[in-house]
Amino acid sequence: MAQSGEKIVLNIGGIRYETKRSTLTAYPDTFLGSMFLERNAALLHPTKEGEYFIDRDGTAFKYIMQFYRDGKISWRDFCDRDHNMHIPQISRRELEKELDFYCIPKSVLNVPPSVVISEQVDEFIAILKDVIYDLIRHMRNEWTLEFFKNVNGSSTTHNNMKTHSLSTVRRHAEFFDLAGYEIFDMFGEEIRRHLEKEIPNLCCTITKEDFMHLPKYRFHITINNKHSRATILAETCLAEYF
């Protein structure tokens, strides 16, 4: 008899995924949900390694598993920010083909605009944190970023960010261009308070100014990196020599 908590190993195009039978059968109208129902157990033919091989796109399947685990899919139009590529890893068309194969309604890809914007805001804040921590690692204590708005929407001057000495800053330059001004315009104060709460010894100022009749937001941070030598040594591999 099949057990709902039984571990299932799926081999999708050469990529292994592990899950529970109950995770899949929670959606009995889908391909995998139906496949692993108890009444169909006799029809299953695992490999000698105990895996179930399906000749489909293994990379795209991570989104299929998101659906089974969360009931929704967190798919975006561009790759992870760390790749600095605004090119889909998996296009919408490719993902829709996989949804069709697994009998999952394509409506799971339709999300309200408010959710899309909120994810963009979270992404923007996460990038700011990455940059701030990179500055701390390089023992920098000040940094300024200016976001300009022009007639074509949002554009950014970022103190030569694209050629900045910090790779983190260069890597995220394009992302800031997308909606930086608008995000600060709507949520600047909340962003400031959040960053100061999350990152010790950080002070942020966000000011709205005009430059050549163009509005801009000036985001300036200062970091108190003046820690005692003893405090730093205590957290290093050199502590035993102190």
- Taking the CA of residue 60 as centre, how many other CA atoms within 13 Å lie in the half-sphere pointing to its CB? 19
At 151 the pLDDT is 57
More confident residue, 132 or 226: 132
Yes or no: say if 131 and 120 are a contact pair by the CB < 8 Å rule. Answer: no
Q: Give the single-character DSSP code of 213.
A: T
Span of 64-68, 151-155, 171-175 with lowest mean pLDDT:
151-155
Nearest to 101 by CA among 154, 51, 32: 32
Instruction: List the chain domain ranges.
Output: 7-109, 113-223
Considering the domain delimited by 7-109, tell me its CATH architecture.
2-Layer Sandwich (3.30)
Cα–Cα distances (Å) from 92 to 73, 77, 78, 99, 112, in that order, read 12, 8, 10, 10, 16
Q: Would you say residue 171 has pLDDT above 50?
A: yes
222-231 contacts at long range (C-beta below 8 A, 24 or more positions apart): 222/141, 222/142, 223/132, 223/135, 223/136, 223/140, 223/141, 223/142, 224/141, 225/136, 225/139, 225/140, 225/141, 225/201
| 208 has a pLDDT exceeding 60 | yes
Q: What is the mean pLDDT of residues 153-173?
A: 59
Please check the confidence at residue 100 and state whether its pLDDT lies above 60: yes
Per-residue confidence at 203, pLDDT binned at 50, 70, 90? very high
pLDDT digits (tens, 9 = 90+) for 27-68: 999 999 999 998 988 888 899 899 999 999 999 999 999 999
The encoded tokens of residue 23 equal 């995770």
Mean pLDDT of 129-149: 85
Q: What tokens were used for 135?
A: 């500055």
Q: How large is the average pLDDT for residues 204-223?
A: 88
CA distance 67 to 99: 10
Residue 30 DSSP code: S
Averaged over 145-162, what is the pLDDT?
61
The 10 Å Cβ neighbour count of residue 143 is 18
Window from 76-80, 122-126, 213-217 with minimum mean pLDDT: 76-80
pLDDT at 103 over 90: yes
The b/e string for 43-57 (b: 16+ C-beta within 10 A; e otherwise) is eeeeeeeebbbbebb
Q: What is the pLDDT of residue 4?
A: 60
Residue range 217-231: average pLDDT? Answer: 84
Taking each continuous run of H as one helix and of E as one strand, the counts in the chain are 8, 7
Backbone φ and ψ for 61, nearest 5 degrees, come out as -65, -20
DSSP class of residue 39 equals: G
Residue with the larger pLDDT of the pair 200 and 81? 200
- Calculate what percentage of the chain has a pLDDT beyond 90: 43
